[in-house]
Amino acid sequence: MTKIKICGITRHEDALAAALAGADALGFNFSRKSPRCIDAETARDIIAELPPLVTPVGIFVEQSPAEINDICHHCSLQTAQLHSDDYDAEKTRRLEGVRVIRVFRPGPKFSIEEVGNYAEQTGCRGFLFDAFSPEMAGGTGKTIDASTASMLFERTRDFGWALLAGGLNPENVADAVRLVRPWGVDTASGVESAPGVKDHKKIADFIRAVRKADRSLTPSS
């Protein structure tokens, strides 16, 4: 069954709506440049109220390992999602007690070997592929074409688990699941009424669409 992550949570009511709708994970963005940035105190309060089987994930862009460690400890985060090529193997190994989801954005200079090399050097087994944009590290609403995405997921299955992001919404996520067969899917802007403000109906529709696609891929007994 495809894992579902709702990213860019900033409000208690949105976190609860996503959890009740069936999200597996929620993303909390600590990048000060993001319109979905959340402060550590608010994130800590929201995370403390989550059901026990919903995984909170910290989103970090260019923050130092020391700052990531501090925020993760303060918010009881056990998973950190790292954007930016600045997070090399040496910096990743300085993170304490957190599992890593490393983000790769297939752009003009991207090579799939980067993913395998990073996995070998760090032991990281979690990845996220997002659409490339020179302006923003994520949440752009841009998509990865299906053929590129399929290649990425096929090549990474031998050494890890990967989520697909980039422009996913209730209208297109089912096709993405059927065509790409990702381990998980991630959305932020696709289920919003404004940056950082989630539309609860869109969240429910998104999750229903994923589960319907999952059922279509499961052979009937």
pLDDT at 211 over 80: yes
User: What integer is the mean pLDDT of 19-45?
Assistant: 97
Contact 53, 81 (CB under 8 A): no
The rounded percent of the chain whose pLDDT value lies above 70 is 94
The rounded percent of the chain whose pLDDT value lies above 90 is 76
Q: Between helices 12-21 and 40-48, what is the axis angle to 10°?
A: 40
Quick: pLDDT tens for 105-164. 887 778 888 899 999 999 999 999 998 665 555 555 678 888 888 888 998 888 899 999
CB atoms under 10 Å from CB of 130, counted, come to 25
Q: Which of 14, 72, 124, 130 is catalytic?
A: 130
DSSP, res 220? P
**What's the mean pLDDT when you consider all of the chain?**
92
Domains, the chain? 3-215 (3.20.20.70)
pLDDT at 175 over 70: yes
Predicted pLDDT of residue 221: 47
User: What integer is the mean pLDDT of 36-52?
Assistant: 97
pLDDT at 219 over 80: no
Contact 177, 211 (CB under 8 A): no
Quick: pLDDT tens for 80-106. 999 987 888 899 999 999 999 999 988
Residue 203 to residue 218: CA distance in whole angstroms: 23
pTM of the full structure: 0.93
Q: What does each C-alpha distance from 60 to 52, 82, 83, 101, 188 come to in angstroms? A: 23, 5, 6, 10, 15
Q: Which of 7, 72, 75, 124 is catalytic?
A: 7
Q: Which residue has the tokens 């529709």?
A: 205
Name the token pair of 100.
Answer: 């890593």
pLDDT band at 10 (very low <50, low <70, confident <90, very high): very high
For the question of residue 7 being annotated catalytic, the response is: yes
For the question of residue 39 being annotated catalytic, the response is: no
